[in-house]
Structure 1
Amino acid sequence: MNNVLVLLDSLNDWKPYYETNSILTVSDYLKHKPPGKESKIVINLSSNYTYNSEGYYSSLLAQARGHRAIPSVDTINRIESGTGMRMDASLHKLCYQWIQKNTLPEGDIWYLNIYFGTCREKGLERIARFIFDNYPAPILRIGLNTRQRNQIETIQTLPLKSLSDEEQDFFASALDNFNKKIWRAPRSPRCCRYNLAIFHDPAEKFPPSNKKALTKFLDIAKKMDIHAELITEEDSVRLMEFDALFIRSTTSLNHITYNLAQKAKQNDMIVIDDPLSIIRCTNKVYLNELLEREKISVPASRLIFRSNENHFEEVAAQLGTPFIVKIPDGSFSHGMHKVSSESDFEKAMSVLFEKSSIILAQEYIPTDFDWRIGILNGEALYACKYYMAKGHWQIYNHGVKGCNQSGLVDTLPLYQVPQNVIRTALKASSLIGKGLYGVDLKVINNKAVVIEVNDNPSIDHGIEDAILGDELYYRILNYFIRSLELKSR
């Protein structure tokens, strides 16, 4: 297990097992980067994977550090969201035959424990492997409904410390065997039709695309022989009618947008934003560590943990004053505070720690505007200057009512943008994927500093399309056509 790290809530959780140098507490893994640059498998055995918990962040930062986390954030989010899964007829038959030979406890639901894709019940190995392929997690507890042909009813993670003596023995054996195998990701069915679903939320206050932009997408799509349709959460059950999904609503991991992206990806659809991009972009803690690892300039920063004793003087000594504190998954300037004093710090911590166990603190870099470089499939698409709201330090001023809540925007031809800004933006987005991104940067002493990478950047009629016009919509829609054609080959 030289290349394996096992993460635990407490080292005492490992007492029933053989001693090893490969165990580490969740807190220690978060606070200290493991030495060496080699890729590691991180087996996260935290008893709490809920969103914004330290168990959750362990899997998130493992990915940022180039480690393979089991379970991944993707798996955690699907389990937490209750995203369903169906077994095929052959597995249903296998379940039925096993039940005929075995006596089950009374009730409609029976439970199957799965350890790294294996189970103690002889004859159900194929089912255990099938479920693990879809939900790679160390220990799973599966509830199956006997009245509905053994349909999977619930999928939950099982804490290590809840195992009996016999289960501990089986888990230890499964862990040992798992370390010797390579597990293959499940394959998805193929699609062949050209229908595009554009998901939006009509009630969203700051949507990524205004109504005129959405209308433009529909009009241009029709000219390109794409059947495009606006859908909302109420239409999500129709997702499988389409070949591709374009999300035009602010994304979040514990949200319908991520669930739809995940469902689309599992069914071999072309999707923007894809679930991996959502994972990588929506959490500033992950993104900051990823950019630092790749030596891309970012504001000086540090993590603040709810489990630690935190002091204003210590943070100020490292970042200077004022500095910024923010929740990892805020958007449109929400969940951010500028801290200038100890009272500011205490007030901000009391508010932000209610939303997250980890807070990101960053140096304050005052500028008149931020650059936004729109990038599609690894190429620069548009460039904007987003100015700060009048009399405010952010682009959005949520404390003001009326028309002056956000600053002005200038859209420029790409040739008028400093080349180091475009180069840095392209490098940062390449770490995320090949989809549609908006990279926010500041220029300090001619040096481009990345503030964040957005997975669903604004495409508003009259702003981002001010230079390219209809060509902007054509290029985005053509990405879907090319991707679908490539897939069909």
Structure 2
Amino acid sequence: MRQNFHHGQSTGQKTNQSTINLLVADDPTDLRLKIDNATIISAHQYLTDSHYQNIPYARVFNLCSSYKYQSSGYYVSLLAEARSHRSIPSVSTIQDFQSRSIMRSMTDEMDNLIQKAFATATAKEMSLDLYFGQSLDKRFNELATRLYRLFPSPMLRVDFVQIKGKWLVDKIAPLAMKKIDEALMPTVQELAVNFFKRKRFHQARMRNYAYDIAVLYDPEEVEPPSSLPTLKRLCKVAEQMNMYMELITRNDMDRLSEFDALFIRTTTNVNHYTYQFSRKAYAEGLVVIDDPWSILRCANKVYLAERLAQEQIATPQTWILDSTWLKGDRLGELPLPLVLKQPDSAFSKGVVKVKTYEQLKTTLQNLLKKSDLLLAQVFMPTAFDWRIGVLDRKPLFACQYHMADGHWQIVNWETKNKNNLWGAYKTFEIDDIPPVVVKTAVRAANLIGDGLYGVDIKEVDGKAYVIEVNDNPNIDLGIEDQLLKNELYRRLIQSLMTRIKVARDISRLRL
């Protein structure tokens, strides 16, 4: 039985580090702000002064009046990335501002909030000013916060236009300080001070860390991929390796630019905030596990079935079903029992075993209401599934996940006895399991990418059959780490470190 925990905060306090907060503006005198833990300089200084070129740790808050291509404001963010400084906004965010279609696509998720915010507006055009992620009009604070999370920038003006009765984002541009009414400055000053007070980047550190890693988790998740004690162990090992690791939640998307990497440790899905975090982090230049394409590919069982078939990797006999299978006697062509899977099923949810054709028809009708395509596979009974963890295209760990007591899956969501939720498990040395299982698992995972995956395999008569490839695999104390202990966490952290170094080297080569 896996343990799960429901409460917890970020672990470890960072103290001392020579990270400098720089507020960069066209003309520093225009800012009219006093921030104790930030230095205000001109764009010219940042771009040309060798002192700022050689600062190893800096966070650059770009308050220039324009982010147009090849403007000073554009170059501030571009050269910040070249110097391995953290820039807010990043170049990728600036590029998002240039495309109305991208802006509208990214704000689709908050459409209801946008319509509600301007429901009583009589004009056809409206503007919302964002000051350090806040609006001066409290009615728009929720919308301002959501916009800041998507487009992290110190100060922005977001223009909206009403087209055929619907409000849409029309333009996003920096809000020039010199254009702010003097009467508003005390409030703007207060928002700026509060912004730096509540952010981790204002804290002093007692040591320099090589890199900062955010670990996205959900303290309320019932069966998380890693328990809170596991994540604390991970943070402890990271500290030993001179890496700062902090647990963040879904409310911290606006903080992604503070970090060098994002490690997702809550169950992922495409229509979910985890995918938004992954996509945003990747766009901001962070190293990401699980990366967006791994989430997209692993989340859809139809994609996996097609991909595995193309590469001739063995799976249980598989059919992709649609509504045409409900016509005539086509269902009679399928053998029973069958396992039906929703394309986005996970953790044994959305997976149904059918034993009769009546069950098959009814279940298919119900599942097709959620997806136009479904997966059907021949039921292949085994006492356990192999779970092979794969990282950087190499095997990381090997476990047997046994079926839950009296059930045909490793997790029995129907049981009322929580002690019987999970089946037993056993961890093995990689060299002690059948080579065909390891080879097949690595081949399957490599079709997805080079990240962290858990490949489920059934071994029957000496042959290995891939059931699925999972991003965001379970890693828990006493289970997956049973043999490797802290070495498993060191390998995970080392992978992130290597990826950060490679990404920075590539960035420098491009410039």
For this structure pair, what is the TM-score category when the shorter chain's length is used for normalisation? Answer: 0.5 to 0.7
Q: Please give the TM-score of this superposition, normalised by the length of structure 2.
A: 0.60
SS at match of 2:374: strand
Mark the CA change 1:150 to 1:354 in structure 2 (over 3 Å): closer, same or farther: same
For structure 2, the 5+ residue unaligned runs are 1-64, 72-94, 115-123, 129-155, 164-208, 506-511
Corresponding residue number in structure 1 for 2:222:
205
Deviations 1:47-92 (A, max 9, x none): xxxxxxxxxxxxxxxxxxxxxxxxxxxxxxxxxxxxxxxx96338x
Distance across 1 between alignment mates of 2:302 and 2:488 = 31
**Pair 393,311 (structure 1): closer, same or farther in 2 beyond 3 Å:** farther
CA distance in 2, matches of 1:231, 1:253: 19
| Alignment match, 2:211 | 194
Cα distance in structure 2, aligned partners of 1:132 and 1:147 = 18
Deviations 1:334-388, CA, capped at 9 Å, x for gaps: 0111111122123312431232222111111111111110010011000000111
- Are 1:395 and 2:410 matched, yes or no? yes
Contact preservation (8 Å) 1:324, 1:339: yes
Q: Which TM-score applies when normalising by structure 1?
A: 0.62
Q: Give 2:356's match in structure 1, choosing from 341, 348, 357.
A: 341
* Identical columns (%): 39
Q: Structure 1 residue 431 and structure 2 residue 447: aligned?
A: yes
Distance 1:243 1:129, change over 3 A: closer
Partner residue in 2 for 1:90: 68
Match of 2:397 in 1: 382
Q: What is the alpha-carbon distance in structure 2 between the residues aligned to residue 265 and residue 127 of structure 1?
A: 13
Q: 1:310 deviation in Å?
A: 1.2
Using a 3 Å threshold, how does the CA distance of structure 1 residues 484 and 317 change in structure 2: closer, same or farther? same
Contact 2:97–2:103 (8 Å) recurs in 1: no
1:298: Cα distance to partner?
1.3
Alignment partner of 2:371 out of 335, 350, 356: 356
Asked if the contact 2:299/2:344 (under 8 Å) is kept, the reply is yes
User: SS in structure 1 opposite 2:326?
Assistant: coil
Cα RMSD after superposing both structures: 3.0
Give, as a single letter, the amino acid of the residue that structure 1 aligns with 2:300.
N
> 1:295 and 1:335 mapped to 2: Cα distance?
26
2:459–2:465 Cα contact (<8 Å) kept: yes
Deviations 1:127-180 (A, max 9, x none): 99845688999xxxx999663587465999xxxxxxxxxxxxxxxxxxxxxxxx
Whole-Å separation in 2 of the counterparts to 1:295 and 1:397: 31
- CA separation in 1, counterparts of 2:160 and 2:400? 50
Q: Which residue of 2 aligns with 1:70?
A: none
Aligned equivalent of 2:474, options 458, 467, 472: 458
Secondary structure of 1:268 counterpart? coil
Rg: which structure is higher? 2
Counterpart residue type for residue 475 of structure 2: I
Q: Distance in 2 between matches of 1:440 and 1:312?
A: 35
Q: Which residue of 2 aligns with 1:305?
A: 322
Could you tell me how far apart the structure 2 residues matched to 1:333 and 1:373 are?
17
Question: CA–CA distance in 2 between the matches of 1:293 and 1:303?
Answer: 14
1:293: Cα distance to partner?
0.8
List alignment gaps of at least 5 residues for structure 1.
1-86, 94-125, 157-191
Secondary structure at the aligned position of 1:441 is classed as: strand
Inter-partner Cα distance in structure 1 for 2:269 and 2:161: 23
Residue of structure 1 equivalent to 2:234: 217
Q: How big is each residue's C-alpha offset from its partner over 1:397-454, in whole Å with a ceiling of 9 and x where there is no partner? A: 1110221011101100011110011111111111111110011111122111111000
Greater relative contact order structure (CA < 8 Å, 6+ sep)? 2
* Counterparts in 2 of 1:341 and 1:222: CA distance versus 1, 3 Å: same
Q: Is the 8 A contact 2:299 2:343 kept in 1?
A: yes
CA distance in 1, matches of 2:322, 2:240: 52
Q: Which letter does structure 2 place at the counterpart of 1:209?
A: S
Match of 1:330, SS state, is strand
The answer on whether the counterparts of 2:331 and 2:361 sit within 8 Å (CA) in structure 1 is no
What is the number of residues matched between the two proteins?
329
In the alignment, the residues of structure 1 paired with residue 400 and residue 161 of structure 2 have an alpha-carbon distance, to the nearest angstrom, of 48
For residue 220 of structure 1, report the CA deviation from its aligned partner: 0.4
Cα distance change on mapping 1:145 and 1:237 into 2, 3 Å? farther
Which one of 291, 308, 323 corresponds to residue 291 of structure 1? 308
For 1:90, the aligned partner's letter is K
2:11 alignment partner in structure 1: none
Counterpart in 1 of 2:388? 373
Amino acid at match of 1:483: R
Give 1:210-359 correspondences, 5 Å limit. 210-306=227-323, 308-310=324-326, 314-318=330-334, 320-359=335-374
Counterpart CA distance in 2 for 1:238 and 1:312 is 55
Structure 2: distance between partners of 1:155 and 1:258:
29
Partners of 2:96 and 2:103 within 8 A in 1: no
Distance change (3 Å), C-alpha of 1:456 and 1:128: closer
Q: Is the 8 A contact 2:341 2:375 kept in 1?
A: yes
